[in-house]
Amino acid sequence: KDPNARGVGWLLVAVLLVILDSVLKWQAIGKLPLASSVLPDGLFGLGLYKNPGVLFSLELPYAVLIPFSIVLLTILTFLGLRAWSSSPRLAAGALITCAGAIGNFLDRLFNGFTTDYLLFHPTGAAFNLSDLVIFVGIVLLCTAPHPKDPHIPLDKGR
């Protein structure tokens, strides 16, 4: 199969994930009760949690968070483009991670917080589709073949 077609496919998946995540967050803000008012009836629930921070609600100043996000997205985009034809899993991992990061970045930029709506009751964790997408992307990045020597093209370093 043509590697460029495969790359375009992953790019399309990434764009669709950002759109779906935005729609779900918009629906959560408009329709879900605040997470603090949701009673834990089971393992998972739906509720609105306006997360002011990043991973595990860790709060970072915007002066740190925005530049860090831009640098991270730039690195992942470069990695995805570099690996486009030689390491599909690496490229997919980079693009999928970017999709999740962009979803949360846009949410933070426009709303001032990240909209979490999936509640995991036993731990009190709250997350969203972008968080799940980032996790899947990181798994792909970690399991993709990497060259041992940075001067060896990705397809020769397996």
Is residue 153, in this structure, part of any structural domain at all? no
Domain extent, residue 69, equals: 3-143
Q: Exposure of 90 by Cβ count < 10 A (0-12 exposed, 13-18 middle, 19+ buried)?
A: buried
Total domain count, the chain: 1
Report which of 129, 119, 112 is spatially closest to residue 22, judged by C-alpha positions.
Answer: 129
Strand partners, 114: 51
- Block mean pLDDT (10 aa), the chain, length 158: 67 88 94 72 82 70 80 85 77 88 90 89 84 92 70 48
Is residue 152, in this structure, part of any structural domain at all? no
Q: Which pLDDT value is given to residue 149?
A: 42
Q: Which pLDDT value is given to residue 158?
A: 44
Is residue 150, in this structure, part of any structural domain at all? no
Q: Which pLDDT value is given to residue 147?
A: 57
Is residue 12, in this structure, part of any structural domain at all? yes
Three-state secondary structure of 42-59? CCEEEEEEEECCCHHHCC
Is residue 148, in this structure, part of any structural domain at all? no
pTM of the model: 0.78
Q: Which pLDDT value is given to residue 41?
A: 66
